[in-house]
Amino acid sequence: MHPASLARRLPAALTAAGLAVALTACSATPAPSGAPSTLSVWDPYPQFAAGSEWAKTIDRCGSEAGVQIQRQAYDTTDLTTKVLLAAQQRTAPNVLVIDNPVVSTLAEAGVLKPNQDVGLDAAQAAPNLVAAGVAGDRTYGVPIGANTLALYYNKAVLTAAGVDPASIKDWASLTAALAKVKGAGKKGITFSAIGTEEGSFQFLPWFWGSGAALTDLASEPATAALAQWKSWLDNGYAPNSVVNNTQTTSWQEFATGEYAFAENGTWQLQNAKKAGFEYGVLAIPGRTGGTAPAPTGGEFVTVPAQDNPDAEKTAARVAGCLTSPDKVLSSDTALTYVSAVPSVQEKQVAAQPELAVWVDAVKNAKGRTGDNLGTRYPRISQPLWGALQAALTGAKAPEAAMKDAQAAAASAK
C-alpha cells in the first residue's frame, strides 16, 4: 500500500491496536506432518485480484511449501482491526502482510512470532528497512519492499528560472533555487503539512536531514527544520495551502505545471508521466548536504502466532518465499515498490533507469518506529504534526512549537 494511504490510516490502526493487544529459499519440500494442508494469507492489497501477479506469486509459494493458500485482502485499517480480533479469538491468519509501522505494535501485543522462533530470515533485506520490524532485540517479519519520498521537479520551470537541478545539494542551494523561481514569476515548492500522520511523514526528511532525533523534538536541529519550512511560507516560496494539503492535493498543485518542486513519493510516478510536462526527481537534500533520510512506506510479511508450531514453520516458508530474491522482483513491480533486497534493486534500475534516484532514497530511508521507538512513535508523531500546524499558521514561533511538542511527547502515555 502506498505511504499516502498508510499515513492517513496509521493513527486509526494504532488506536485499534492499543485497544487489543536470510530470506528463506522456497522449495518444494512437503509441509511438516503436523502442519495443516491449507494456510491463510491476509494482505492489504484488495486492488490485486486472483489473476494478478501478486496473487499468482502467493499461490506459487504455497505450492512450493506443500500447502494450498486461502488468501484474503482487506483495506489497511480493516486488516489491522481484523487481525487483532482474530488473534484474540485464536483464529489469526498464518501469514500476514502488514504496514511496517504497525509491526512493532502487533509484536508487543504478542500477535506475531519472532523470526528466530519460526525459521524466518531477513538477512538479505537491507538493514535500514528491516529495522522497522525490530522490537526489543527480536525481528518480526521481512520487508517485501519499500517506497519513500523525494522531490519531483518541473524541468521547464527550472529552465525558465535559470536553475540547474544538479546545483541543489543542500537546504541553502534549494532555497536559492526557490528564490530564482519566484523571481521568474513561477511558484516554488508544494508539500503536505496537514495535521495528521501524513504531515509528520512529509516533515521527517527535513527533520532527520537536519540531524534531529525523534527523542528530542526541541533540539536545535529539529527547530531549524521547522524554521526552514516556515521561512518558505513567509517568503512566498511555498503556498499557505500546505497546512491543509494531503499528499494527493499537494500533487494536484504540482500537476498544474506552475510549481518548480513537489515533495511526494514513488506512487506518483505514473501520474508524473501523465502530467503533460517534463519532470525529474531529486533526492531530498540534508541540511548541509547529502541525501536526507526519508521515512519508509511498505509492508512486512510476518508470521502470526498459532497453537500449532508446525503451522508456524510452514507459514514461515511461505513468508520467506514471498520475500525471496527470485520471487520479489515481480511482486515489487506489481506493487510499485523498490525492493528491500539490494541485488533486486540493481535489477530494477537496470530495467528502469529512472528508479535510480528512488533506490538511493530507499537506501538512505528510515522506519518511523526504528531507533527502538516502537509503539512510542505515535505519541511523538501527533505532537510533531501539531507543531507544524502551530508554526506554519503563525500561532507559535518554531522554537516554541517544538518545545511544546517535546513536552507533550514526553508526558504522553
Q: Each residue of 221-252: pLDDT tens digit?
A: 999 999 999 999 999 999 999 999 999 999 99
User: pLDDT band at residue 32, thresholds of 50, 70 and 90?
Assistant: low
Using the predicted structure, report yes or no on whether residue 212 has a pLDDT greater than 50: yes
Do 266 and 312 fall within a single domain? Answer: no
* In a domain? residue 89: yes
Cross-strand bridge partners of residue 299: 99
* In a domain? residue 154: yes
Please report the pLDDT score of residue 34 as a whole number: 67
- Residues near 143 by beta carbon (within 8 Å), at least 6 away in sequence: 100, 122, 125, 126, 129, 130, 132, 133, 296, 298, 299, 300, 301, 323, 340
Distance CA(362)–CA(226), nearest Å, equals: 23
Do 243 and 384 fall within a single domain? Answer: yes
Do 77 and 170 fall within a single domain? Answer: no
Nearest to 201 by CA among 101, 279, 290: 101
pLDDT for 274-319, tens place per residue?
999 999 999 999 999 999 999 999 999 999 999 999 999 999 999 9
Do 314 and 216 fall within a single domain? Answer: no
3-state class of 309 per DSSP?
Answer: helix
Chain-centroid distance of CA 308 in Å reads 32
* CATH classification at residue 329: 3.40.190.10
Please give the residue that has the higher pLDDT: either 126 or 333.
126
Do 14 and 136 fall within a single domain? Answer: yes
Range of the domain at 175: 149-294+373-411
User: pLDDT band at residue 336, thresholds of 50, 70 and 90?
Assistant: confident
3-state class of 259 per DSSP?
Answer: strand
Do 181 and 119 fall within a single domain? Answer: no
User: pLDDT band at residue 35, thresholds of 50, 70 and 90?
Assistant: low
Torsion on CA atoms 402, 223, 397, 12, rounded to nearest 10: -40
* In a domain? residue 368: no
Cross-strand bridge partners of residue 99: 299
Please report the pLDDT score of residue 31 as a whole number: 54
Distance CA(243)–CA(245), nearest Å, equals: 6
Using the predicted structure, report yes or no on whether residue 29 has a pLDDT greater than 80: no
Do 190 and 288 fall within a single domain? Answer: yes
Distances from the Cα of 142 to the Cα of 97, 132, 170, 239, 262, angstroms: 9, 10, 33, 39, 31
Do 128 and 231 fall within a single domain? Answer: no
Residue 138 in grid coordinates: 527480536
Do 250 and 393 fall within a single domain? Answer: yes
Do 139 and 171 fall within a single domain? Answer: no
Q: How many domains does the chain have?
A: 2
* Secondary structure percentages of the chain, helix, strand, coil, to 5: 50, 15, 35
3-state class of 133 per DSSP?
Answer: helix
Tell the burial category of 251 from Cβ atoms under 10 Å away from its Cβ (0-12, 13-18, 19+).
buried
* In a domain? residue 138: yes
Q: What does pTM read for this prediction?
A: 0.85
Do 284 and 320 fall within a single domain? Answer: no
* In a domain? residue 128: yes
Please give the residue that has the higher pLDDT: either 13 or 62.
62
- Residues near 335 by beta carbon (within 8 Å), at least 6 away in sequence: 45, 54, 144, 145
Distance CA(12)–CA(21), nearest Å, equals: 14
* In a domain? residue 270: yes
Of 70-79, 141-150, 173-182, 208-217, give the lowest mean pLDDT range: 70-79
Look at residues 327, 342, 363 and tell me which one is the last residue of a structural domain.
Answer: 363
Mean pLDDT of 83-87: 95
Do 99 and 229 fall within a single domain? Answer: no
